[in-house]
Amino acid sequence: TGDKPLVISTWNNIKANDAAWSVLSQDGHALDAVEAGVKIPEADPADRSVGYGGRPDRDGRVTLDACIMNPEGDCGSVVFLENIKHPISVARKVMEDTPHVMLAGEGALKFALESGFKKENLLTEASEKEWKAWLKKAEYKPVINIENHDTIGMLALDKAGDLAGACTTSGAAYKMRGRVGDSPIIGAGLYVDNEVGGAAATGLGEKVIKVVGSYLVVELMRQGNTPTEACRLAIERIKSKNPDYRDFQVGFVAVNKNGEYGGYSLQKGFGFALHNEEGKKYVKADSLFS
Ligand code: SD4
């Protein structure tokens, strides 16, 4: 640990890290790295929790949440956005080209179209088929299974020592229409403080929002905890607030200003992808329960 540049992302997002690494290894900026990185799963129809190919809400619509933060502490976010393949790039435009932090739904779509993004159908045949099968029982409960996610939260530390982060998702499968999770909410799904470090979350967003999870992890690092310990303490907090703690998953990843990194989850099965000068790998995170 302790080297830069590096990129870390939730789950087995090795390919996303590759794209981020190609920016970082050429002395690129952390913000460009995380945007390039998370665009990979956004465009990948095989990734069923992000962007194109993501599982729809219970009405059969793919609705996307994303946010981004730069080393200056600026942030941009889109929530409940439909028909745009790269919500992270729209979030970046919200940050850079508007006086606002967050745009929602129709307004976010209007802004995206005005900014030159194209309207596209994001519901793939595979996701539509699964949704139709789900409709037969239609249990109206956001489904977050414990071991099979790929929502991406990504943090990068560039050669200059600056931190940025991005988070993007299609959210909980078969959620209520209009539901927004933690992923696009600054402090919940993502937080970066260039003086301390950054954190990102995945899992059942409602639980992450309730403890302002990523902000909590960053503040725990500010108090002197290592990234792994900060993630563990935030997971302990979630456990202590939720009697149903065995029924859902939450995982955090974090990196500090020195290039130390880590992750931790509530249930087993979580891990993160890491790329630094030593190469790339998938790391199984420790969990509170095994
Ligand atoms: C959400 N946190 O919308 C996201 C879902 C997720 O892997 O992380 N899935 O609640």
Instruction: Please tell me the distance from the alpha carbon of residue 64 to that of residue 262, in angstroms, as a whole number.
Output: 27
Distances (CA, A) of 139 to 142, 174, 177: 8, 9, 14
Residue 279 identity: G
CA of 211 to the centre of ligand 1 (A): 15
Amino acid at 119: K
Compute the distance between CA of residue 270 and CA of residue 65 in angstroms, rounded to an integer.
Answer: 21
What's the burial of 61, exposed, middle or buried (CB within 10 Å: 0-12/13-18/19+)? middle
Q: Is the per-residue pLDDT at 138 higher than 90? A: no
CB of 10 sitting under 6 A from ligand 1: no
Q: What is the mean pLDDT of residues 57-71?
A: 97
pLDDT of residue 143: 54
| Whether residue 249 has its Cβ less than 6 Å from ligand 1 | no
pLDDT at residue 287 greater than cutoff 70: yes
| DSSP label of 118 | P
The predicted pLDDT at position 197 comes to: 98
pLDDT for 3 equals: 82
| Per-residue pLDDT, 2 | 57
Q: Is the pTM of this model over 0.90?
A: yes
Which has more pLDDT, 221 or 141? Answer: 221
Q: Which atom of ligand 1 is nearest to the CA of 181?
A: 3
Rounded to whole angstroms, the Cα distance separating 147 from 290 reads: 12
Give yes or no for residue 213 CB within 6 A of ligand 1: no
